[in-house]
Structure 1
């Protein structure tokens, strides 16, 4: 009968609709608006505290650094151009003042720093984020949140006080997963000591470097004390150690460690975006070698031959390293308690199929916004069940680690702004909400952030006029 083929066709069409309709719905739902305000992202998570409303009040652009004469004045010109990696040859990338890394910025504690960033020829626009420096919100350098990307022919001025001694760095926060890798970064040191040695590790298109070169040797007198400032500008963690002498871990992410003991035959982890300062007394009659994650990229300090050791099996555990000290606040009196559960699931992101990161079961941009009021004591549990390691970075604040996998911290207060969270690992951290603004809280494996592993810490009464996308083409990751 003729009706039978028609019936089979109708059934096939209906079955196709039943299968494709949910896929089409999820595809449509995944599309990210091309002009999205951070104020409209996701949903509010008040952490068990009173509801706050961030849609009316002070604009983030007014939360600027102080006026008046600057103590440190730096002019940086960004260019898309070819530059040379000593020992490895030329490459195409992005420079600041014709070099990558950009000029090292040095300030004394309390200095007012003024940096003028000019974009001469970078087509996607640029910004500068002061990684680990708790600047006023307007100076944070995040495209679409605290400013518009600086387009070709434009400039932008950053002003902030270098209030905390320590090791920091700066980098683009516009298309950052591409621009940082291509060279738009540099080192910032507040209150350097006489015998500082910087070891900033960066990979340019599979070429791994230290301080922009293939390797480096620095001079230091026998018996002198050297401070080695380790900086990880890459997307994954690596271990550092010292061959030829014992050492102390004297600072983490710009904060001094209390009563650090001497260690030998141990490595220390430096996560993506993180900084660790080591103190070494130079031995008599030989050099030392700083292992930087293995491979040929190393730093040698001193005269003569340096031992060539392998990565130690044991590692310094910052959870129990050093001695306890006062925090300055009581985490037990938290007014907001949040969870930051990192997962992964198949689906669509902006219409693209794949495996995508989730925060508390939600996918970007429909993720929780952590809402706080100035003065809140905040506790947060960061749990990772995504199958990969994530270096988590909260802008504008340092957090103190309270526990890892339920084991309480017993050593020096472990203050950090870049926390390495392994798969199946959980950290509880705490901080005081003392820097009003809208602050990114994201994975510093920058491709992960570009794939949606990002949310915001939002203060009550603070708003922003800037948009992701839009006419400025703001793309913070």
Structure 2
């Protein structure tokens, strides 16, 4: 027979549950999203005004202004109308993914494999990709992660296009303007389709081979990291890779982190970080006894010089390695190296160089404060993410005008790391926790913000459209960690959760 104390405890719990259910019932109808447009998000109070500050300050933007007379649809924001220099067809299929060296999983392939084929173009090329959905039941798209494509080509279901249904196709066209390492992935049910393999790498090379110093003596390899069903792979295989290189040869390794968490890179020999997220580091110094951390979605080009004898081992992602040099006896001559405890600080790495814009007096200044609280989103109760204290879909809409210099203050008041990714733009990191950047301009499109950290970042609003600004730990985006940058006068005809089945996250 239960004691009086047990009965009292049950009564207290019952009251708490009833109260929670009552509060949930009050909020239920307001959080059943149904079909909606991102044009209606942000409650119209996210416009900072020229010289203003904050995403919650006075002044209205709202969908009415963006969709009024003279508004321009995202579908009109396209690449130049000229013949393509690079043409590719990518066919997405749902089914078994073979993982060489490991076990197969159920997922998605592009042209029969995962990762899909690597696309290579030269700076200035017009790239045209015909995307065919042969059998992905939920529909699919392609997002060109890190490439500042025109908005119509961004590949976000429900914002820049409808998801491509089974049997359908969609053509993406963009200019390869920025040399660097990038990747493509689906932005339809992305937390499932990316994790299960609908992705691949894309590299934009200099227009002229001699454009990069010592290019003639440099080898170039891609190292795409992905976890398939718990299996850590390098370029789709559960195995290390070997790169035969003569002594003194520089090997540029393009590390692409397609996973949901941070990847570490380190070596037993000095290396240099030549680029972050497709942008060259100015005068990169040797890194020795430190690890480089790459956010989810981020990339880094690392250069290693082949040793006079034997091989150098570059650890990529923790579980896999690339062996560089005389690979005939690689295992015996290059044992694994323990991961260093010290992390390279990119805020102070390399040599300073002038920016091509002045962030000191921005036209727009916004806060982006990440936290979480209990609530209901689309009928799902949970502990959801908030932006500036507000829960999806009532999150800020960061409104800008073309040509604005924009500064954002990111702060992470939660207990998780958030790799924040802004579509269509690259940002320069100005400071972290109040410490001003002192090295090479640190230019990224994916930035890890650790618990308790704050960053000031800046960019020029030079690519009109409606752009996602979200966490690339993709389940976090599903749970509401996503906002948007909207240009004045831009609208979209696409909706989410409607008949087209668009579910971008």
Aligned twin of 2:299: 275
Deviation track 1:85-106 (CA, whole Å, cap 9, x = no partner) reads 1111322211111011000000
2:90 to 73, 76, 85: 76
Residue 433 of structure 1: how far off its partner (Å): 0.4
Contact 1:294 1:310 survives alignment (8 Å): no
Aligned twin of 1:116: 130
Which secondary structure state, in structure 1, belongs to the residue aligned with residue 194 of structure 2?
helix
Contact 1:386 1:423 survives alignment (8 Å): yes
2:285 to 224, 237, 261: 261
Which secondary structure state, in structure 2, belongs to the residue aligned with residue 178 of structure 1?
helix
Residue 307 of structure 1: how far off its partner (Å): 3.0
Indicate how the Cα distance of structure 1 residues 18 and 278 shifts in structure 2: closer, same or farther if over 3 A, else same. Answer: closer
CA distance in 2, matches of 1:276, 1:115: 25
CA distance in 2, matches of 1:357, 1:259: 39
Aligned twin of 1:7: none
Deviation track 1:362-412 (CA, whole Å, cap 9, x = no partner) reads 001110000000011101000001110000000000000000001110110
Aligned twin of 1:9: none
2:102 to 88, 91, 100: 88
1:444 to 466, 472, 487: 472
User: Where do 1:238-387 residues align within 5 Å?
Assistant: 238-243=263-268, 245-295=269-319, 297-302=320-325, 303=327, 304=329, 305-387=333-415
Deviation track 1:279-307 (CA, whole Å, cap 9, x = no partner) reads 11111111111212323x22222223323
Deviation track 1:138-169 (CA, whole Å, cap 9, x = no partner) reads 00000000000000000000000000000000
Contact 1:109 1:164 survives alignment (8 Å): yes
Does residue 108 of structure 2 align to residue 103 of structure 1?
A: no
CA distance in 2, matches of 1:20, 1:226: 60
Aligned twin of 2:219: 195
Aligned twin of 2:67: 55
Indicate how the Cα distance of structure 1 residues 352 and 218 shifts in structure 2: closer, same or farther if over 3 A, else same. Answer: same
Contact 1:249 1:277 survives alignment (8 Å): yes
Aligned twin of 2:416: 388
User: Where do 1:413-428 residues align within 5 Å?
Assistant: 413-428=441-456
CA distance in 2, matches of 1:293, 1:22: 44
Q: Which stretches of structure 1, 4 residues or longer, exceed 6 Å deviation after superposition? A: 14-19
Deviation track 1:75-122 (CA, whole Å, cap 9, x = no partner) reads 011111213111113222111110110000000000010000000100
Deviates more, 1:297-306 or 1:354-363: 297-306
Indicate how the Cα distance of structure 1 residues 354 and 16 shifts in structure 2: closer, same or farther if over 3 A, else same. Answer: closer
Contact 2:24 2:376 survives alignment (8 Å): no
CA distance in 2, matches of 1:176, 1:16: 34
Contact 2:127 2:174 survives alignment (8 Å): yes
Number of aligned residues? 462
Aligned twin of 2:209: none
TM-score by length of 1: 0.94
Does residue 73 of structure 2 align to residue 38 of structure 1?
A: no
What is the Cα-based RMSD across aligned positions, in Å? Answer: 1.7
TM-score by length of 2: 0.89
Which secondary structure state, in structure 2, belongs to the residue aligned with residue 27 of structure 1?
helix
Which secondary structure state, in structure 2, belongs to the residue aligned with residue 29 of structure 1?
helix
Contact 1:339 1:382 survives alignment (8 Å): yes
